Amino acid sequence: MSRPRQPSRWGSPGAERESRPRPSCCSSVTEARETTAWAGVEQRPRAAGAPLGQGLLRVCCDDFHVEEQLGFEPDEEGEHLLLWVRKRGANTEWAARRLAHCAGVAVSSVGYAGLKDRHAVTLQWFSLPWRGHTRPDWTPLAQEGIWVLACHRHRRKLKRGALAGNRFRIRVRTPRPLPLPDLVARLAQLRRSGVPNYFGAQRFGHGGANLSRADELFAGTAGRVSRHRAGLWLSAVRAQLFNDILAERVQRGDWDQPLIGDCLQLAGTHSFFPVTTVDERLQARCQQLDLHPTGALWGRGELPTDAEVRALEERMAARVPSWCTGLASFGLSQERRALRVPVAGLTGELVEGDLLLDFSLPAGAYATMVLREILDCSEATDAQRTDPLRSPG
C-alpha cells in the first residue's frame, strides 16, 4: 500500500476539509453503507466448484502452523538483532511487546515483516536495535509461549512486507469423511490453476467494522486517529474494492485468463504490463502461472487498464464513490494486485478423518483462501478450543 501523505489529516481528518467543499459522494456515511452491504469473503464466488465438505479450523494452536520465508540472509553485522522466534497462542504485536520488554527497548523499535494470528504456532522473524555485546536473556519468555530459536546481527530494522512468503501446515477437523477421489482431483486442480487472491476476513475487522470506521474517516467524523489505525481502515477499503472486482471476474469465469485491456503481472514481481493483444503465447504463459491478471488497489490517478477490464473496474468502484474520493484524498495511488495466487507445494492427506494440508504462498496471500476452495470452513469458537492463549484479543 502506498504511504499516505499529509500527516496532519490523520490527527483530525475533518479540520482541514472544512475549508473546501466536500464532494457530494462523501456527504453521507449512511449512504455509503447502504450502497455496499457488507460482503464477507465467505459470500464471494469460488473458482474450483462446490466445497467437498465442511471443516473446523484452529481447534488447538497445533492445528495451524505458519513459517515465514524471509527471502534474504541476515547481514551478520550491524546494530540490530534479527530474531527467529517460535510462538504459540500469541499474536505478533503482543510478542513484539514482550521481546521489547525483555531487551529493554522501545516497542516502536521492534520490527516484523507480517502479522500472525494468535490461534496458531508460528515461526516468525523480529528485529530490534542492539549495540551491546551481551545479548538479552530470552529464557523467561518461554513461560509466555515465546521462544527465540536463533539470533543474528543485522544492519537495519525489519520492515513490514519484507517476506518472500509463508509456509503453512494446517489440520482441518472434518465432521464427515471426505471423498478421497474428489479430494485428489481438487488438489490437482488447485496446483494447476491457483486460487482467487481474495483478501481474507481479518483485513476487514469483525463484521466489516474497519469499513465503517473508514466511512467515518472520510466523512471527517472519526475524531483523532493514529496513523496506524487509519492505515488499517484505508487498507480495508482498498481490499473490499479489490475483492469486488475479483468476485466479478470469478463469476464471469475469466479471473485467470488474459483479456484485452488487462494488466498482467509477472509472477514473483510487482511489475505489470498492459495487454493489447491476446495470442497463444500469452495464454500459455498464464496457464503456466508465469503471468497473472491483476485488479485495482484503488487510489488517485488513472487506471492502467483499458477496454472491458477498465469498464468493469470503474463500475465496481462507482458503487461507492466516497471510497474512491477518500482514498485519493489521503494520498494513496493506484496500484495493482494479482487476481490469482499459485499454491506451491500443495499436498494433502486424510489422517484420523481430518484433512492435513501443506503448502506455501507468497507474501500477502491468505491460507484461508486456499482452504475455502476445498472445504466450507469455519473458525472454532472459544468454547471449542482446547488450549490456552497467551496474548489478549
Nine-digit cell string for 280: 497463444
The type of residue at 257 is Q
Grid coordinates representing 141 are 519468555
Grid cell listed for 374: 476445498
CA dist 40 to 55, 77, 80, 173, 209, Å?
18, 45, 40, 23, 11
Q: What's the rounded Cα separation, in Å, for the pair 83 and 111?
A: 10
Single-letter code of the amino acid located at 30: T
Residue (of 346, 372, 352, 45) closest to 184 by Cα position: 346
The verdict on whether 117 is a catalytic residue reads: yes
H helices present in 194-226, as ranges: 209-219
CA nearest neighbour of 81 among 42, 53, 39, 109:
109
130 three-state secondary structure: coil
- 350: β partners: 355
335 touches 303 (CB < 8 A): no
- State how far the Cα of 103 lies from the Cα of 101, in Å rounded to an integer: 5
- CA atoms lying within 13 Å on the CB side of residue 76: 1
Q: How many CA atoms lie within 13 A of 280 on its CB side?
A: 0
The Cα–Cα gap between 183 and 197 comes to: 21
| Residue 142: partners with Cβ closer than 8 Å, 6 or more residues away | none
Please choose, from the candidates 175, 169, 170, 168, the residue with its C-alpha nearest in 3D space to the C-alpha of residue 353.
Answer: 175
Q: Phi and psi dihedrals of 159, rounded to 5?
A: -100, 155
Quickly tell me which residue has 482452504 as its cell.
371
Q: Which of 117, 254, 358, 376 is catalytic?
A: 117
Catalytic residues: 117
